Amino acid sequence: MSEMSERLLRGTSKPCGVSALLVLEDGAVFRGSSCAADGEVFGEICFNTSLEGYLEVITDPSYAGQIITMTYPQIGNYGVNVQDAQSEKPALRGLVVRDLCTTPSNWRSTKSLPDYLREKNVVAIEGVDTRALVRHVRDHGAQRAVLSTLDTDEASLLAKVRASESIVGLNLAATVSCEKTYEFDDLPERQAFAVTSAGERRHKVVAYDCGAKRSILENLLRAGCSVVAVPWDTPAEEVLAMDPDGVFLSNGPGDPEAVEGTYTQVEKLLGKVPVFGICLGHQMICKAAGAEIEKLKFGHRGGNHPVMNLLTGRVEITAQNHGFGLLFPSLGTLVPELSGGFKGHEEDLRFWARSRIAPVVQNEKFGRIRLTHVNLNDGTAEGIALLDIPAFSVQYHPEASPGPTDAHYLFTAFGRLMDGRDDYLDIDIAADRLAGWTFGDVTETIEVKPAMTEGGR
């Protein structure tokens, strides 16, 4: 081969990494090649179905303790802009992809994803049949896994993973929370070309940082809030002494049962100040109310999960990242006169979506609680509103990093709750999702046509 041919080959071909192995605790084995840092890591295997936003996924603190499989076949093709990172360093244990792009193309890219992963010492494997891996996890459930570039002996790794620690019962939120209270007032210029400036700060919000993504706190700023973040176990008395207009409970990783230092404080806050929780924060409100939390078979992770708002009948396409979920019947007994006359709970909550009813239960601690949102994929609970005190929560991420903007209205709803409005969730989500963006003229009136009647055109 000529020197020129060799140069062309080096410039257009991706070098092959050393052998790497992914072994699950049930004995499933997936071989591939190392494409980032060398090492051996243990965690719970999971998968994310997002088509884009891989950097936001990788830097989401909610992935602490997990090995992420990306279902989209090529990851890294638009590179990395570190301004899009959701935390200073990735909290995940490892990354699994079909193909990792080494030559990205994007005007905002500052480096390739493989380079970024090596800088952050993230162990990753490519060349894996991710479709087969995802099918296996869907059939057999989430489980412990080991990813290694150092040991490629199947029997050795299987013994190691079966001896490894489960994330069930671990307080992973404590590992990714802030160490001390701080004021968050940072709106970077990364989206200045598309997003308008933040408005007047009308509300003071204290945010429990259980692993908060930057973009969530940024959205609170854009919704007119000043934000003070506090560690996951900050006593309620200290929070109330700050005299906030509202308290926000952030996303976070792992088993909510283990985050007692947060939900015991939330129990003291409910009824004394408006509260809004998302993801783990939603589970903290549920735990404070005495609810049971179940571990889902393989969780919800991705930017394409359909959720029905039972109050409006609108369907939101949502971004999600959680492996545990609320058992709605455990909140209390149904109130028939507020639940369409129905007296018994339904295991599949899509019953309420089909019936167009937002059922209400009587909770022993906090009075009436309404189911507001339901997942249309599997019929699990996605949101609640406490009717006798100012508090509500959702299981998903409303800030669209990554994912759709359908649920952005929840930040507006929080502001309205702090204003004392009873109709805080009565919002046109189609109009709200355009607020603050400068793509085209969004001030133009949008005509909403009535739904087609039977036999009509």
Structure tokens at 187: 């709106």
For the stretch 277-291, pLDDT in tens is 999 999 999 999 999
Bigger pLDDT: 7 or 266? 266
Bigger pLDDT: 363 or 456? 363
Query: Residue 227 pairs with which residues in a beta bridge?
Result: 184, 205
What percentage of the chain carries pLDDT values higher than 90? 84
| Residue 171 annotated in ligand binding | no
| Residue 309 annotated in ligand binding | no
Section 192-221 average pLDDT: 87
For the stretch 303-360, pLDDT in tens is 999 999 999 999 999 999 999 999 999 999 999 999 999 999 999 999 999 999 999 9
**Which residue ranges make up each domain of the chain?**
17-162, 173-432
As a whole number of angstroms, the distance between CA 48 and CA 41 comes to 19
Question: CA 254 → CA 62, 63, 321, distances in Å?
Answer: 7, 8, 10
Query: Residue 46 pairs with which residues in a beta bridge?
Result: 68
* pLDDT reported for residue 455: 34
Q: Do domains 17-162 and 173-432 have the same CATH topology?
A: no
Share the mean pLDDT of the chain: 91
* pLDDT reported for residue 13: 66
The pTM of this model reads 0.91
73 with 52: CB under 8 angstroms?
no
Quick check: helix, strand or coil at residue 139? helix
* pLDDT reported for residue 187: 82
304 with 316: CB under 8 angstroms?
no
| Residue 323 annotated in ligand binding | yes
Section 412-422 average pLDDT: 96
Alpha-helical regions (H) of 85-170? 113-119, 130-140, 154-162
What percentage of the chain carries pLDDT values higher than 70? 90
Structure tokens at 350: 């899509």
As a whole number of angstroms, the distance between CA 268 and CA 136 comes to 42
263 with 256: CB under 8 angstroms?
yes
| pLDDT at residue 444 tops 70 | no
Quick check: helix, strand or coil at residue 89? coil
* pLDDT reported for residue 52: 93
| pLDDT at residue 14 tops 90 | no
| Residue 53 annotated in ligand binding | no
* pLDDT reported for residue 454: 34
Model confidence band, residue 11 (pLDDT cutoffs 50, 70, 90): low
As a whole number of angstroms, the distance between CA 431 and CA 22 comes to 45
3-state secondary structure 391-446: EEEECCECCCCCCCCHHHHHHHHHHHHHCCCCCCCCCCHHHHCCCCECCCCCCCCC
Query: Residue 47 pairs with which residues in a beta bridge?
Result: 69
Reference 347, options 335, 330, 324; nearest CA is 330
Section 73-84 average pLDDT: 96
Core vs surface per residue 124-140: b (16+ CB within 10 A) or e: bbbbbebeebbebbeee
| Residue 62 annotated in ligand binding | yes
* pLDDT reported for residue 430: 78
Section 166-175 average pLDDT: 95
To the question of domain 173-432 being in CATH 3.50.50.60, the answer is no
Quick check: helix, strand or coil at residue 320? strand
| pLDDT at residue 6 tops 70 | no
191-205, 219-233, 385-399, 414-428: segment of lowest average pLDDT: 191-205
For 408, counting Cβ atoms within 10 Å of its Cβ (0-12 exposed, 13-18 middle, 19+ buried), the class is buried
**Which residues, including other chains, have CB under 8 Å from residue 184's CB and lie 6 or more apart?**
207, 217, 221, 227, 228, 229
Bigger pLDDT: 454 or 331? 331
* pLDDT reported for residue 190: 61
Looking at 1.10.1060.10, 3.50.30.20, 3.10.20.880, 3.20.20.70, the CATH number of the domain 17-162 comes to 3.50.30.20
DSSP string, 248-301: EE----S-GGG-HHHHHHHHHHTTTS-EEEETHHHHHHHHHTT-EEEEEEEEEE
| Residue 74 annotated in ligand binding | no
| Residue 121 annotated in ligand binding | no
As a whole number of angstroms, the distance between CA 166 and CA 58 comes to 21
For the stretch 206-216, pLDDT in tens is 999 999 999 99
> Which helix (DSSP H) or strand (DSSP E) does residue 321 occupy?
strand 315-327
Model confidence band, residue 1 (pLDDT cutoffs 50, 70, 90): low
Query: Residue 321 pairs with which residues in a beta bridge?
Result: 301
Section 258-287 average pLDDT: 98
* pLDDT reported for residue 99: 97
As a whole number of angstroms, the distance between CA 398 and CA 318 comes to 7
Give the best-scoring range by mean pLDDT among 5-9, 246-250, 448-452: 246-250
| pLDDT at residue 445 tops 60 | no
For the stretch 23-35, pLDDT in tens is 999 999 999 999 9
Question: CA 20 → CA 13, 33, 94, 152, distances in Å?
Answer: 20, 5, 12, 6
Q: Catalytic residue numbers?
A: 279, 397, 399
* pLDDT reported for residue 453: 32
Backbone angles phi, psi at 46, to 5 degrees: -150, 175
Reference 109, options 79, 82, 74; nearest CA is 79
| pLDDT at residue 378 tops 70 | yes
| Residue 324 annotated in ligand binding | yes
